[in-house]
Amino acid sequence: MNKLLTTTILAVILLFNQSNVNAQTITVIPQPTVLKPGTGKFLLSRNTLIINGEKPFFKAAAAELGMMTTKCTATIKNEGKIIFKAGTTALPPGGYELVVSTQSVTITTNTAEGAFSAVSTLKQLIGAPLFKPTSSLTLEIPVVEITDAPRFEWRGIHLDVSRHFFDIAYLKKMIDRMALYKFNKFHLHLTDDQGWRIEIKKYPMLTAKGAWRTLNKQDSVCLEKAKENPDFALPEKHFKVIDGVRKYGGFYTQEEMKDLIRYAQDRSVEIIPEIDMPGHMMAATALMPWLTSNNKGGQAKDFSEPLCPCKETTYEFAENVFTEIAALFPSQYIHLGADEVEKSSWKNVPECDALMKKEGLKDINELQSYFVHRMERFFNSKNKKLIGWDEILDGGVSKTATLMYWRTWIPGAPKKAAEKGNEIIMTPGEYCYFDAQQDNNSLQKVYSFDPFNFHLDEADRKYVKGVQASTWTEYIPSEDRLEYMIFPRIMAMSEIAWRGKGSDWNGFEKKVIQQLPMLDAMKINYRFLDLTGFSLNSVFVDSASLQIINPVEAFKIRYTTDNSLPTNTSALFSGKLKITAPVQIKLAAFNDADKRGEVYTVNYKKLNYLEPATTDALQKGLNFYYYPHSYRSVKEISEKDLLTKQVTQAIEIPVTQTADQFATRHKGYFYAAETGVYTFFLRSDDGSVLNMDGAVLVDNGGLHTSIEKSAQTALKKGYHPFELLFLEGGGGYTLKLEVVDPSGKRRAVNAEDFYK
């Protein structure tokens, strides 16, 4: 080969490697619209010049950059510049351009929000060193060109501060993290049955008494869990002795809230207050029981006694509260809540009968909408717009209210709202409720959220203002637990909020892994990515080999076999572990800082290959039975409720219009094509149970969201009795069965597997 050719090839390889290196190291979440990696670095130093072009809307972003330079201890010769420029190109709202060269960083935008988003991108480009408690000589920003703009104007995070209180210092941390991932609305659920959290000067008792409680049932559950997991402990800092009694809670004074609002504004985050009415009001009605229809307050059938919409005293109270809320919060929107109202409490109430007659209201749903409409008129008189949970559709909604969609089990609600011309914020529980428990699918579940996939056609889509992740805190008492529930799911939600839809799951998962050191530097108690590839209920015949898929190279896996929890000195798992006797293995991943992730308990049982059934004249398919009845457990399924029996080819539910609650049974034989160990993975929402060879193999029973359980069995080649029971308790269902057969490949069970 001649020299010139060799040099050219080398240069090409070098170039290729160079751009590859950049492509791998430039990790931004959410993914910018256009990102062109270059070569080289800009060095941020103590003397980097920040030129903010005198525009007031650059001030907050420039101040943040100034803070970043103070992390650097070195000044450098030929110091670089960071230049803010008002946009000359037509950038979409909230958009920005960011050009990093070795000499300068240029941020072009027309808005404070765009400027702060550019700074958030820069922070991620620097990564972990920026967030470490120790200073650096300089900080490196890779050369890159980015053009970027959000898909949705509403990119929300909701936090319930009533069920458990989170203080201002922590909310500021949350705002920093929201801004880092380009969220711009912080919806605070400030009141609920369990505590009133915002000072109302007209009613000082609401916080003097209503913000404090003796421990309730949910607190007891947390305390019980705290015995195994300290993240469930109730923080000591939120206890206080009041009149000689130890109480738990807290609240924000209006001055503290103003400080928080300013802090958020500087980061282009808007705080949206929610005072939930007329239901979820027990913190207030315990003090003012005359606001309810029974004058006693307390618990009603499904929810607490709501405010009575038929008494003028209710409106006097509500308007006094919202007058202060409207003055305190600069946001255009106020959230009225209006979810989960025990409307039955308004039946046979003389004031309500009279109001219904006077206003021509036909039923209690219309009483609820009377309340919401009247409050909306009041909000409008204060120059504010009303948001309500999707229950505001019941009984008729005004065109100008904004609907916050949460009830995934009412899939038609967003369409109904769009057709009426109402704006919608999408936070459907199945994808967006971060209080839902997590497993190996929950991050991908959030990433798969398509805000338009709720029967919204092109014409309806313009009504979708945006998306929101919502976290209810009944069982989230501490900051660590909250972070565990939010991270890394918030990163997936940020992709949906910014881009509209996730389109590259594998790429996204890699980005999450690349950002873990940054989360570690921020000391965020994120949930580790799951270890997979094994079953907690494993078997061996002669011997087996435990294999684990570890998604993060930097995680070390450690294990014990003596029933103790693994620690950072436990045995290191080195790829495979040979099992020759029954054993219980507890294993967990550890990160660089020796923090432990989930503990998995794997049980190995010795089994002989199960003999196949002696059957003849089998046909393809499974017998399928459908029971349109409400059960709490598959054990309750009764043949007297059977409506249809038919044949399916695999695990399908061939009923076009299923009842809200129902159960199903698939029965036949699973054909083991070769003798060996089979692992069955059963995912369901709600419960399911897999029976094989006459015994329970996978018990995923109960009423729950989408959860996967698995178990292994050892099968001799042939036909094995198979029965899958499933129940749907309402709210949409999932039923999925996968198998790893002796070839080692994980796949869905299919028509090839089943006989009857």
Given the rule CB under 6 A, which residues bind ligand ACM?
Answer: 339-340, 389, 406
Would you say 232 or 406 has its CB closer to ligand ACM? 406
Would you say 474 or 723 has its CB closer to ligand ACM? 474
Q: Do residues 42 and 126 make contact, with C-beta atoms less than 8 angstroms apart? A: no
As a whole number of angstroms, the distance between CA 331 and CA 264 comes to 11
Would you say 474 or 741 has its CB closer to ligand ACM? 474
Q: Do residues 159 and 88 make contact, with C-beta atoms less than 8 angstroms apart? A: no
Residue 340 CB, nearest approach to ligand ACM (Å): 5
Would you say 339 or 741 has its CB closer to ligand ACM? 339
As a whole number of angstroms, the distance between CA 25 and CA 16 comes to 14
Residue 495 CB, nearest approach to ligand ACM (Å): 23
Would you say 425 or 585 has its CB closer to ligand ACM? 425
- The strands making up 212-213's β-sheet, listed across from edge to edge, are 212-213, 245-249, 239-242
End-to-end CA distance of the chain: 67
Would you say 406 or 449 has its CB closer to ligand ACM? 406
Helix (H) or strand (E) run with residue 748 in it: strand 746-748
Cβ neighbours of residue 363 closer than 8 Å, sequence gap 6 or more: 395
Q: Do residues 403 and 417 make contact, with C-beta atoms less than 8 angstroms apart? A: yes
Would you say 303 or 670 has its CB closer to ligand ACM? 303
Residue 524 CB, nearest approach to ligand ACM (Å): 25
Residue 389 CB, nearest approach to ligand ACM (Å): 4
Residue 339 CB, nearest approach to ligand ACM (Å): 4
Would you say 340 or 351 has its CB closer to ligand ACM? 340
Residue 407 CB, nearest approach to ligand ACM (Å): 8
| Residue of 256, 324, 340, 598 with catalytic role | 340
Residue 390 CB, nearest approach to ligand ACM (Å): 8
Q: At what angle do helices 479-486 and 489-499 cross, to 10 degrees?
A: 50
CA dihedral (91, 92, 94, 100) in degrees, to 10, reads -40
Residue 476 CB, nearest approach to ligand ACM (Å): 14
Would you say 408 or 710 has its CB closer to ligand ACM? 408
Chain residue at closest Cβ approach to ligand ACM: 339
Would you say 95 or 429 has its CB closer to ligand ACM? 429
Q: At what angle do helices 312-328 and 364-381 cross, to 10 degrees?
A: 40
Q: What angle do CA 99, 101, 106 make, to 5 degrees?
A: 35
In angstroms, how far is CA 192 from the centroid of its own chain? 21
Residue 466 CB, nearest approach to ligand ACM (Å): 17
Residue 422 CB, nearest approach to ligand ACM (Å): 17
Number of H helices, E strands in the chain: 19, 37
Would you say 389 or 719 has its CB closer to ligand ACM? 389
572: number of Cβ within 10 Å: 10
Size of the chain, expressed as the number of residues it contains = 756
Q: What angle do CA 445, 446, 448 make, to 5 degrees?
A: 65
CA dihedral (160, 272, 502, 600) in degrees, to 10, reads -20
Beta-strand runs (E) in 228-362: 239-242, 245-249, 270-277, 333-337
* DSSP conformation letters of 573-591: P-SEEEE-S-EEEEEEEE-
> If phi over 0 gives left and psi between -120 and 50 gives alpha, with beta otherwise, what is residue 603?
beta
- What are the residues facing 560 on neighbouring strands? 586
- What are the residues facing 682 on neighbouring strands? 709, 737
Q: Six-digit token pair at 518?
A: 């940054």
| Residue 670 dihedral angles phi and psi, to the nearest 5° | -95, 130
Cβ neighbours of residue 618 closer than 8 Å, sequence gap 6 or more: 669, 719, 755, 756
Rg of the chain over all Cα atoms, to the nearest angstrom? 29
Residue 337 CB, nearest approach to ligand ACM (Å): 8
503: number of Cβ within 10 Å: 11
Residue 202 CB, nearest approach to ligand ACM (Å): 27
Would you say 339 or 520 has its CB closer to ligand ACM? 339
Q: At what angle do helices 505-521 and 489-499 cross, to 10 degrees?
A: 120
Q: What angle do CA 368, 370, 372 make, to 5 degrees?
A: 70
Beta-strand runs (E) in 620-706: 622-627, 644-648, 662-672, 676-685, 688-692, 695-700
Active site residue 340: yes
Catalytic residues: 340
